[in-house]
Amino acid sequence: MLNNKNIVITGAGSGIGRATSLLAARYGANVCCVDLTDGVQVTADEIQAAGGKALAVRANVAEEAEVEAFVQQCVDHYGRIDGIYANAGVSGGGKSVTELTVADWQRTLGVNTVGVFLAVKHSLKHFLAQGHGAILCTASVAALRANAGGVDYSASKAGVVSIVQTTAYQTYGSGVRINAICPGLIETGMTKPTFDRARERGTEDKIGQINPMKRFGQPNEIGEMACFLLSDRASYVNGQAVPVDGGLSSSHPWVYPRN
């Protein structure tokens, strides 16, 4: 599905980014794995051990010079960039609106929204010049409705959806596609505290019950959609924020049966 595609994936050291990197390589992509942490090397090593091609880059997606550099590094290493998955993100910690500081907002939006903007800006230079490219971003169901994060996190992800919609029109007729995925609750590094708390209380079986699939999701279930949207199989999908959430965002308020 992704044969000979050179793809940058941010947040590749953990969770959704790591799962998508491994899957993309399995589908034939040459992956440029980016993360702040050493986990990015573990992901790249695993891809290479399985016979795939991967480059590990330690970088901060919130710093413009670093984003410009890792996009260029992909081009220099593989000869071209075909896609980018701007996936790195932070939860913001879930403080209430009255407790949040401006510094909290700047930290959350700095990674989740500015980081996505920078990935779009610096990859687009290459995509517009070559007349093709696929951009994918991780938003969240928090971008669509309340109760999936704090106001800083939710606003940061609504911003991602807006970047996607607006950029789709600013790249009118260019051959570039841009989309977002809105994951529901997925078991990753980011949600580990929620899962740890539930396991301590013995309420793990309650996690994810409020969607009609009655369970939380796994990183691979986002990764499969990500690989599809990055591939030419999604050639007519553009400007969309696609929920992958077990059906959570499809409902009006609802109380699940307790029997």
Ligand X SMILES: NC(=O)c1ccc[n+]([C@@H]2O[C@H](COP(=O)([O-])OP(=O)(O)OC[C@H]3O[C@@H](n4cnc5c(N)ncnc54)[C@H](O)[C@@H]3O)[C@@H](O)[C@H]2O)c1
Looking at the annotation, which residues are catalytic? Answer: 153
Q: For residue 217, what are its two tokens?
A: 């999701």
If one asks whether residue 28 binds ligand X (CB under 6 A), the answer comes out as no
Nearer to ligand X, 58 or 232 (CB): 58
If one asks whether residue 13 binds ligand X (CB under 6 A), the answer comes out as yes
Distance CA 243, CA 259 (A): 28
If one asks whether residue 88 binds ligand X (CB under 6 A), the answer comes out as yes
Q: How many chain residues are in contact with ligand X, going by CB under 6 A?
A: 29
Q: Which of these segments, 9-17, 44-52, 122-130, 163-171, binds ligand X (CB under 6 A)? A: 9-17
Q: Which of 5, 6, 9, 14 binds ligand X (CB under 6 A)?
A: 14
Nearer to ligand X, 8 or 16 (CB): 16
Min dist CB 176 to ligand X, Å, is 21
Nearer to ligand X, 174 or 189 (CB): 189
If one asks whether residue 111 binds ligand X (CB under 6 A), the answer comes out as yes
Judge whether 247 and 209 are in contact, CB under 8 Å. Answer: no
Q: Which amino acid is at 213?
A: M
Q: For residue 223, what are its two tokens?
A: 């990764």
Angle at 11 between CA 6 and CA 13, to 5 degrees: 95
State the binding string over 186-225 for ligand X (x if CB under 6 A, else -). Answer: x-xxxx----------------------------------
Q: Which amino acid is at 127?
A: F
Work out whether the CA dihedral 24, 26, 32, 33 comes out positive or negative.
Answer: positive
Distance CA 188, CA 87 (A): 13
If one asks whether residue 240 binds ligand X (CB under 6 A), the answer comes out as no
Min dist CB 169 to ligand X, Å, is 23
* Residue owning tokens 């019950």: 209
Q: For residue 240, what are its two tokens?
A: 């969309």
* Residue owning tokens 């841009």: 178
End-to-end CA distance of the chain: 43
Nearer to ligand X, 124 or 222 (CB): 222
Phi–psi pair at 96, nearest 5 degrees:
-75, 165
If one asks whether residue 94 binds ligand X (CB under 6 A), the answer comes out as no
Q: Which of 39, 133, 208, 243 binds ligand X (CB under 6 A)?
A: 39
Distance CA 190, CA 94 (A): 12
> Which class for 105: exposed (0-12), middle (13-18), buried (19 or more C-beta within 10 A)?
middle
Q: Which of 36, 81, 119, 134 binds ligand X (CB under 6 A)?
A: 36
If one asks whether residue 241 binds ligand X (CB under 6 A), the answer comes out as no
Residues 122-141 that bind ligand X (CB under 6 A): 138, 140
Min dist CB 192 to ligand X, Å, is 8
| Interface residue list for ligand X (CB under 6 A) | 10-11, 13-17, 35-37, 39, 60-62, 87-90, 111, 115, 138, 140, 183, 185-186, 188-191
